[in-house]
Structure 1
Amino acid sequence: ASDFDLPMASHVWFSYAKENADVDSIQAFASDLVLQSIADEPLDSEMTSSESTDNELAKVVPVQGIRDHLDITARRWIWVISYIPLISLLIACLGVLNVMLASVRSRRWEFGILRSIGFTSSDLSRAILVEGLMIAFVAGLLSLGFGILSGWCGSGMAQYMSFFGGLHPPLVIPWLPILGGFLLVLLLGVGIAAWPAISIKRSRPMDLLQSGNDFS
């Protein structure tokens, strides 16, 4: 209480003397102690005793219960916050698709030259797919680094902003969901590059050469 400048201590931390402690009996005993401390007059004592039958004056919460509550709350908030990156990912996919379409359209003459020297349409389409895959791979690595840095900073701030104070939550990295999200980003990258790759694959070499080198 003196460390956190609290006028009254509302929470008390204690350890059980035995491993298999009866939480209900401890809670009832703590409620009796609180009742005795606030019962200054007999009338007030009778009123508080009648009220204590419905509402407990003290509540004992095991450490595991606090951990489970924090875990459920954290999972719920992480799930809610995860909608924002998903929406941002969809918007970014549209932007990357427009960039790739513009890039492929500006390189039609170069693709025609490649077709004329022996490159097949499958080679060009695979090159475009690999380009989209590389963009998605780099985006996934940057997102992973930013997420780990944000989680590390958040776990460090939690020990100062927590209600109980003094908690040191560990940094837990869920590698399995991260791997699933990383694969999703790679699939989206390949899916975005599929449209430009198919358009180049269906184009004839003469049509590509007739587009001319507009940037020469």
Structure 2
Amino acid sequence: MSEAVKANRRAAVSDFKASAILEAAGRVFETEGLDGASMRAIAKEAGYTAGAIYAYFSSKEVLYAALLDQSLTRLAAAIEEADVRTLSAPERFVAAGLAFYDYYDENPRDLDLGFYLFRGGIKPRGLTSELDAELNGKLVASLRPITDAARGLGIDGEAARKVTADAFAHATGLLLLAHTRRLDLFGFAARDLLGEHLFALLRDLGAR
């Protein structure tokens, strides 16, 4: 067996183990939250010794960050897919905003992951300053189609960022209300309310 084949096999085994550890970590985080999880519990769930998983991930924060990074990659892909180039800027703005909502609506576990809601409730949370900066940057990047569509309406960069923050905040609030079924009290569909808000933002921008 050539050295190249051996190296490929070692890489495949390493990737498999890392994936298994990540999947196990996801299950532990879902039941215990970030605060309650431990590397020992994650290792046990994955079927490895605690010492073995440190060769792949140095801490539970790094594991959580890796899971969140994967989630944000999927989010960005979903928004990009909805933001087709044949649409006008106003249509792209609404489509991208709704795509953000749709992704988390269809993947509520990722919503819990992204907002640290696994057993922890709503409060300021983070990992490390370095990991937080990297993940926050990736979240902002995933929202870029909304910002770019707003720029396509002829507004400046600061205004485009502000309207993106508005769309993000409104979508997130509606997701949490829908996720907890509190919005059922009023008999309205969260996605419909978001669409109306996005169109209202466009009217405020003079795009419609």
Q: TM-score, structure 2 length as denominator?
A: 0.29
Q: TM-score, normalised by structure 1?
A: 0.28
The structure with the greater share of residues assigned to helix is 2
